[in-house]
Amino acid sequence: MTRNTAPQAIERPAAAVTLGGRSLVLVGLMGAGKTSIGRRLALRLGLPFRDADHEIEQAAGCSISDFFAAHGEAEFREGERRVIRRLLAGPPCVLATGGGAFMDPATRAAIRDGGVSVWLRCRLATLVRRTAHRSHRPLLRQGDPETILARLMEERHPVYAEADLTVDCGDDSPEITTARVLEALAGHRSPMRVPVSLAGSPYEVVIGEHLLARAGAHLAPILPQKQAVVLTDETVARLHWPALAASLAECRIEARPIVVAPGEASKSLAVYGQVAEAMLAFGIERRTAVIALGGGVVGDLAGFAAATVLRGLPFVQIPTTLLAQVDSSVGGKTGINTAAGKNLLGAFHQPRLVLADTGTLATLPARELRAGYAEIVKAGLIGDAGLFAWCETNGAALLAGDAAVQAEAVASACAFKARVVEADEREEAARDGRALLNLGHTFAHALEAEFGFDGSLLHGEAVGLGLVLAFRLSARLGHCSSADAARVQAHIEAAGLPPTIASLGRHLGAASLLAHMQHDKKMRDGKLAFVLARRIGDAFTSREVDEGAVWETLRESGAAG
């Protein structure tokens, strides 16, 4: 007796694919191969296969064609919605949906919540050939199949584009298409989501790579109208506008760009006026969205325009700098500068969504990355000692461009800020609350004003130095240990940020800096407001700060007296 040693064609589960306990949902037009490919995927993934059309026929006790004839499409879609929700609520499976299922907003929402969706995209000629003999399709009975399919592609492709993944299947065999789907799934990583749970305007911060290329899919479900104005600056437009424009166009979101000069000078009344006039010239409506594509300057300016033009427009943040991703894009603060100081004209206007594509960080100069890092350090110093310790361990990797570390830092900082904003959305708490986010900012804004907002001192650099000065002042006043203040200064210096006023390389006077502080918007009853610290991770607000102590702290750091 001889032993058969020939290789066996055994289908094994695709171990490299992780669905996170969710179902795999196939969407696309009739003829795309959802059933044949779905069966193969189920075998490879070790999951049961479900066909929504078959499940509907089982529940209705008749064919879909007969159901259409007896009850019409509207009732069929309602039944389809119920069936898909039931299947997604059960154990994970591979689910093939009917061609029109994904067009229903409620069904799309259920699929987003319970599954990973894949659009099987085919050319018209392929679909016509595959459906030529399928007379049981109710929609194809209404005229010439090619004309009907072309119309359906025009209507449905912009909505199918909202699926998590798109796989072109063309005329290839089902086995080849199945392999492509598995390959796409193996490389797919669901973005991290940080909820900002505000009573009147909740939203999410979505964090991950390649989000610009998926922006249309993320925005289409939350925009009240498929029309938007995109505010960006010249530098960001060159780098990122083409990818965003293509993504929005794929989902049929009409977007018009407004491009301003880069830098803090664009946060002015003059530029705001130009932006507002441009928006109105576009013929915007109350449901037209304003999308901020850029760093903190663009986000603040776009947000203020969104808050004020037509008395308020839907707003979306797509921050492209580390500083904007971890701080300015979250929380709804918007504003522009005046000659009297920074952000003295502004409004609270929450975004509908924040898309933080960490891939954009690779395009930042090292100096910009360091400036954004200061805001992550700030979050740890205010109320999360563990986050600051994480920074001490991982800060070098983050600044060296480690994408996974950067994403983790963005998510941690956003989660911290979300908790603070949720507790005190408009900075109205009698003590502490959202005002704690101003740790280091009283010093920072004075430094920026002394530099004339000319870009030679970045906001994040000023904040980093402001953190050091806030801890030095806290130690001088006896609130925290000098060891904590030294630890903060050492980390700021290790990150490549200016640790002292002397390190700025410009002659700055203590009297002039104090004068700028007198114009700070946090002044109340003529008293300076500071955020101080009892220790790392334990900040508090105070209006009982001796001006002499501030003076001495500035002098100690290198300000002229």
Q: Tokens for 430, please give them.
A: 């009698």
**DSSP state at residue 97:** P
d(CA 421, CA 413): 12
C-alpha angle 540-384-382 in degrees, rounded to nearest 5: 30
Q: Which residues, 6+ apart, have CB-to-CB distance to 79 below 8 Å?
A: 56, 59, 60, 67
Block residue for tokens 């806290």: 474
* Annotated catalytic residue 375: yes
* Annotated catalytic residue 136: no
Q: Which residues pair with 166 in a beta bridge?
A: 119
SS3 content of the chain, % helix, strand, coil (to 5): 55, 15, 30
Q: Which of 44, 218, 417, 472 is catalytic?
A: 417
Q: How far is CA 146 from the centre of its chain?
A: 40
* Annotated catalytic residue 209: no
Helix (H, G, I), strand (E, B) or coil at 165: strand
d(CA 452, CA 75): 65
- Tell me if 296 sits within 8 A of 334, measured CB to CB: no
Q: Which residues, 6+ apart, have CB-to-CB distance to 69 below 8 Å?
A: 138
* Annotated catalytic residue 445: yes
d(CA 438, CA 375): 10
- Tell me if 500 sits within 8 A of 558, measured CB to CB: yes
d(CA 497, CA 495): 6
Q: Which of 121, 180, 434, 459 is catalytic?
A: 459
Q: Which of 204, 250, 264, 375 is catalytic?
A: 375
Q: Which of 108, 156, 180, 333 is catalytic?
A: 333
Q: Which of 3, 12, 133, 431 is catalytic?
A: 431
Q: Which residues, 6+ apart, have CB-to-CB distance to 168 below 8 Å?
A: 121, 122, 180
Q: Which of 445, 476, 479, 516 is catalytic?
A: 445
Radius of gyration over every alpha carbon of the chain, rounded to an integer in angstroms:
28
d(CA 25, CA 80): 14
* Annotated catalytic residue 431: yes
Q: Which of 121, 156, 267, 441 is catalytic?
A: 441
C-alpha angle 162-286-312 in degrees, rounded to nearest 5: 105
Q: Which of 183, 422, 427, 552 is catalytic?
A: 427
d(CA 486, CA 294): 34
Q: Which of 34, 204, 337, 438 is catalytic?
A: 438
* Annotated catalytic residue 157: no
Q: Residue 296's closest CA among 358, 249, 352, 236?
A: 236
Q: Which residues are catalytic?
A: 311, 333, 375, 417, 427, 431, 438, 441, 445, 459
